[in-house]
């Protein structure tokens, strides 16, 4: 006995769908709720689960074919005619999941191994065999007897200091003193990273002079330019006077000592050539829908963008102080995005025109803030919606953002979760962009883009004086429909968000 599986309704306004990929073949066994195929609509790409168990007898709709809701897709039988097919199916059916799941396990397993591998400093470049052999006891005796003249005193610890202190000449203390003296040469105490430097303050003459004797202005200026502490230089001139050559030699020595340390830090990223290079592929249904809506939105509305720069240093400090506890309490990492979402939701309540829509000649003000979050997927940009975002705290927003993003990327969203947004938040800074000018998608009237959070020197007011400090900043860009939103409305909204973030008072909104 066989039964047909039809295309189900995938949302209130969805009337048709396109079969993008079959996950089962004729003759395969399928269990109840096991995915049969992937279907793309104008709202979402999703998997269709099987309502019954059995053997697939016939596939009625080909890939890339568009059919209406209720159309038969596949015929499934009871499997009595081919029981031998059952053992093969679970292995094949589990293959896609298995191909993805073991990969992290294989990568994670070797990670503990490199710790012992670092100690194995011998010549062989075989990192895999080194941790297995674990020759720790063998290495210790090899590394200890570096000087040849110490074999006799080694067994007796009492003789060890004597052997070290018996250099052939008696004036050992003098040599020790001469070694200790140059130690401060490369150690001018660095200023703290976030130290505030007054703008009008004159540059000090270099805190160099620990009474090095008379130094000519030319030598002192050269030392200032090279960053050399004159008190650490032994002059080669008459009476120990420091000459220009002494400063240049000290600068060269300092550059040689510090130069190699900075080299390994700079590593160039190697870009792989994409296999799509030189090919032509048809646009997916989702890509076509995004393209059509973007063009319609740009042609039907008057769009422009306003940008503000926000100092989020206090937010960064608060986030660093609570992120460990936040993770243990909620199971979610605390990024900057929930702070931006919370500040935006509060500002939408105060300036509802940013949250409004146009219905003919009427401006509609929704009763709640349904915030769409732009999610980057392999199939294209999708915007699942956080319902009533204005009622949520940081924990609630972080949880919903993480859940919606994960299910969007895994094709687990329901079509209705992509509908009903009144305002959109897009985090282009997650990919390193300073800021952009996002497009407003109708029927919404505004979209807020958040750039990358970066540290930089900023002029701040401290005690009535202007000063320079290292601050964490971000650009916020609001694109809006000028048909109902004026520039002043956009500015008021952005300044409200800016003020909320720069205040940094989120202790009462943590949510745990």
**DSSP codes of every residue in 55-91:** EEEEE-S-TT-EEETT-EEEEEE--TT-GGGTTHHHH
Give the mean model confidence (pLDDT) for residues 312-318.
Answer: 96
Whether the ω angle into residue 50 lies within 30 degrees of 0, i.e. cis, is no
Residue 145: pLDDT band (50, 70, 90) is very low
- Residues 6+ positions from 420 with CB-CB distance below 8 Å: 370, 385, 387
More confident residue, 372 or 414: 372
Confidence of residue 108 (pLDDT cuts 50, 70, 90): very low
Catalytic residue among 388, 482, 489, 505: 482
Delimiting residues of CATH 3.30.559.10 domain(s) in the chain: 302-509
Catalytic entry in 252, 388, 486, 505: 486
Span(s) in the chain for CATH 4.10.320.10: 195-256
Question: How much of the chain, in percent, has pLDDT values that exceed 70?
Answer: 70
The residues near 132 (Cβ < 8 Å, ≥ 6 apart) are none
Q: Residue 257's pLDDT is what?
A: 66
Q: Do 212 and 233 contact (CB within 8 A), yes or no?
A: yes
Q: How high does pLDDT run on average in the chain?
A: 76
Q: Is pLDDT of 84 > 60? A: no
Alpha carbon distance 202, 18 (integer Å): 70
Give CA–CA dist 273/293, Å, rounded: 31
> Partners of 55 in the beta sheet?
29, 77
End-to-end Cα, the chain, rounded Å = 55
Which pLDDT value is given to residue 148?
39
* pLDDT at residue 278, as a whole number: 93
Q: Residue 133: what pLDDT?
A: 40
**Beta bridge partner(s), residue 471:** 456
CA geometry: angle 106, 109, 115, nearest 5 deg: 140
Query: According to the model, what pLDDT value does residue 304 have?
Result: 96
- What's the whole-number mean pLDDT along residues 60-65? 88
Instruction: Return the CATH number of 2-106, one of 2.40.50.100, 3.10.20.30, 2.30.30.60, 2.40.50.140.
Output: 2.40.50.100
pLDDT band at 46 (very low <50, low <70, confident <90, very high): confident
Q: How confident is the model at residue 178 (pLDDT cuts 50, 70, 90)?
A: very low
What mean pLDDT comes out for the span 235-251? 80
d(CA 451, CA 157): 62
- Give the mean model confidence (pLDDT) for residues 283-293: 87
Place 441 in a pLDDT band, splitting at 50, 70 and 90.
very high
320 burial level (CB within 10 Å; 0-12, 13-18, 19+):
exposed
Q: Model pTM?
A: 0.58
**Is 482 annotated as catalytic?**
yes
Strand 465-481 versus strand 454-462 pairing type: antiparallel
Quick one: average pLDDT of 124-149? 40
CATH number of 302-509: 3.30.559.10
55 touches 29 (CB < 8 A)? yes
Tens-digit pLDDT profile for residues 316-359: 999 999 999 999 999 999 999 999 999 999 999 999 999 999 99
Provide the pLDDT confidence category of residue 289 given band limits of 50, 70 and 90: confident
Question: Residue 462 has what pLDDT?
Answer: 79
pLDDT bin (cut points 50, 70, 90) of residue 65 is: confident
pLDDT at 141 over 80: no
What is the pLDDT averaged over residues 67-88?
70
Confidence of residue 170 (pLDDT cuts 50, 70, 90): very low
pLDDT cut 90: percent of the chain above it: 42
Q: What are phi and psi of 373, to 5 degrees?
A: -115, 120
Q: What are the distances in angstroms from CA 26 to CA 29, 33, 83?
A: 9, 18, 14
Give ranges for CATH 2.40.50.100 in the chain.
Answer: 2-106
362 or 239: which leads in pLDDT: 362
Instruction: Give 239's DSSP letter.
Output: G
Q: CATH top-level class for 195-256? A: few secondary structures
Q: Are 28 and 77 in contact (CB under 8 A)?
A: no
Q: Is the pLDDT of residue 439 over 90?
A: yes
Give mean pLDDT, residues 32-57: 85
Q: Is the pLDDT of residue 107 over 50?
A: no
Strand partners, 357: 364
Of 106-115, 301-310, 343-352, 471-480, the poorest mean pLDDT is in: 106-115
Work out the average pLDDT over 258-284: 74
Q: What φ, ψ does residue 49 adopt, rounded to 5°?
A: -80, 160
Most confident of 115-129, 329-343, 452-466: 329-343
Q: What is the dihedral of CA 460, 466, 468, 469, to 10 degrees?
A: -40
83-97, 321-335, 437-451: range with lowest mean pLDDT: 83-97
Extended beta strands in 312-356, E state = none
């Amino acid at each position: 006995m066989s039964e047909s599986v039809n295309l189900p309704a995938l949302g209130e306004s969805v009337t048709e769908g396109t079969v993008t990929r079959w996950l089962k073949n004729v003759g395969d066994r399928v269990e109840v709720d096991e995915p049969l195929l992937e279907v793309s609509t104008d709202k979402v790409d999703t998997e269709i689960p099987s309502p019954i168990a059995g053997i697939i007898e016939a596939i009625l709709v080909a890939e890339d074919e568009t059919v209406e809701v209720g159309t038969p897709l596949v015929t499934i039988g009871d499997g009595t005619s081919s029981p031998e097919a059952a053992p093969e199916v679970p292995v094949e059916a589990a293959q896609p999941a298995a191909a993805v799941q073991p990969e992290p396990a294989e990568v994670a397993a070797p990670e503990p191994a490199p710790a012992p591998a670092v100690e194995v400093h011998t010549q062989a470049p075989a990192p895999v065999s080194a941790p297995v052999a674990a020759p720790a006891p063998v290495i210790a005796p090899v590394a200890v007897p570096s000087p040849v003249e110490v074999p006799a005193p080694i067994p007796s610890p009492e003789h060890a200091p004597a052997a070290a202190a018996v250099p052939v000449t008696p004036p050992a203390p003098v040599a020790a003193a001469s070694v200790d003296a140059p130690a401060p040469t490369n150690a001018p105490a660095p200023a703290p990273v976030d130290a505030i430097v007054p703008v009008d303050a004159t540059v000090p003459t270099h805190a160099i002079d620990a009474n090095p004797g008379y130094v000519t202005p030319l030598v002192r200026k050269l030392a200032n330019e090279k960053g050399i502490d004159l008190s650490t230089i032994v002059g080669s001139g008459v009476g120990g006077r420091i000459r220009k050559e002494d400063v240049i030699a000290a600068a060269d020595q300092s550059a040689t000592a510090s130069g190699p340390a900075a080299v390994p830090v700079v590593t160039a990223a190697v870009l792989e050539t994409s296999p799509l290079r030189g090919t032509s592929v048809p646009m997916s249904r989702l890509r076509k829908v995004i393209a059509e809506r973007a063009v319609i939105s740009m042609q039907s509305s008057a769009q422009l963008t306003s940008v503000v720069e926000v100092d989020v240093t206090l937010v960064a400090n608060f986030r660093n102080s609570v992120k460990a506890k936040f993770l243990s309490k909620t199971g979610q990492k605390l990024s900057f995005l929930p702070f931006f979402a919370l500040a935006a939701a509060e500002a939408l309540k105060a300036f509802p025109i940013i949250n409004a829509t146009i219905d003919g000649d009427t401006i509609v003000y929704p009763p709640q803030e349904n915030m769409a979050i732009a999610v980057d997927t392999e199939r294209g940009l999708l915007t699942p919606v956080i319902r009533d975002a204005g009622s949520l705290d940081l924990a609630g927003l972080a949880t919903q953002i993480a859940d919606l993003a994960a299910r969007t990327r895994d094709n687990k969203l329901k079509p209705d979760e992509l509908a009903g947004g009144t305002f959109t938040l897009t985090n282009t800074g997650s990919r390193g962009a300073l800021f952009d000018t996002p497009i407003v998608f109708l029927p919404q009237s505004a979209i807020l883009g958040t750039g990358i959070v970066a540290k930089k020197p900023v002029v701040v007011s401290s005690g009535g004086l202007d000063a320079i400090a290292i601050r964490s900043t971000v650009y916020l860009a609001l694109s809006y429909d000028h048909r109902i939103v004026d520039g002043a409305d956009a500015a008021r909204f952005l300044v409200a968000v800016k003020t909320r973030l720069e205040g940094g008072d989120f202790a009462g909104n943590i949510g745990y």
